[in-house]
Amino acid sequence: MPQIHRQTPAAAARRRRLHAARDRHARRARFATAQQLREAARRTRLLRRRDRRLVIAYLFAIPVAALFAVVAFTQAPVDRAAARAYRAAPECADADAAAAPEPEMRYLWSPVPDPQLPECIHQALFRARDVRIGDGGGGKEFSARLEGTTGGGGRVHFHGDGPVLRRLHDGDPVIGRVWRDEVVSIAADDRTQPTTADPEDDASSDIAAGAAFSAAGFAALLDATRRHRRLTVHARHQAT
């Protein structure tokens, strides 16, 4: 007859404790797995929601970036032609400079000059008024209002505060270099600073802006394609 091994009460108690510990560990593992699954599902929902919103935003941003790039590259030949004409422009003779009107700081969107304006470059004396350096309504503003000796003039803008603008005070005299009714630079105390109307600066800025908008639009297109593909794969996975 086989021998029957009887457990002592202490051994039976240890076995019961071991089984209870295993059950608790299994329950904790199942609970942790359920929590992880819920967290993963929540993150997936948030990711899909963000992908959908970004894809919709890209549908508007990509055409806008392409439009700005086209405008910048279209404007670049115009500004290059203006820059070449500016570099080739001679200094005005005394009679031409005297007949030239005070500039009104109008912005030219065409390389074709006004036939009534001399193509030469002349210098005019101005008084600086209302110098602005710092935060403006749309960000950083660097500008000054120039008053001509005969009543002409207007506000000119700069890319930064130096080297002339930061030293200007209200009423200080400045010499403006004028071409095609635009003040392209100002000079004071043997220092010269170009304005935003400088045609040589416009030509390089157009190329840089066009390249930046093209790169931004291309990057947005790639990201939108990647996110749309991920949304499509997830939708097919749910359908199956």
Residues 100 and 187 in one domain: yes
Q: How many domains does the chain have?
A: 2
pTM of this structure: 0.56
Long-range pairs, 84-87, Cβ under 8 A, ≥24: 85/111, 85/113, 85/119, 85/199, 86/121, 86/179, 86/184, 86/199, 86/200, 87/200
Q: Does position 49 have pLDDT exceeding 80, yes or no?
A: yes
Residues 162 and 100 in one domain: yes
Instruction: Answer whether residue 56 is part of any domain.
Output: yes
Per-position DSSP letters for 62-89, written without gaps between them: HHHHHHHHHHHHHHHHHHHHHHHHHHHP
Residues 165 and 101 in one domain: yes
Residues 115 and 169 in one domain: yes
pLDDT tens track for 105-130: 444 334 444 555 667 888 888 988 88
Q: How far apart are CA 70 and CA 206, in angstroms?
A: 10
pLDDT of residue 105: 47
Which single residue is written with the structure tokens 């297109």?
A: 221
Q: How far apart are CA 44 and CA 35, in angstroms?
A: 14
Q: Does position 98 have pLDDT exceeding 50, yes or no?
A: no
Instruction: Answer whether residue 82 is part of any domain.
Output: no
Burial label for 15, CB within 10 Å (0-12, 13-18, 19+), is: exposed
Residues 111 and 193 in one domain: yes
pLDDT tens track for 183-230: 888 998 888 898 888 887 777 777 888 888 889 888 888 888 888 887
Residues 156 and 126 in one domain: yes
Residues 96 and 169 in one domain: yes
Instruction: Answer whether residue 79 is part of any domain.
Output: no
Structural domain of 38: 9-70+211-239
pLDDT of residue 141: 82
Instruction: Answer whether residue 118 is part of any domain.
Output: yes
Residues 118 and 186 in one domain: yes
Average pLDDT, the chain: 78
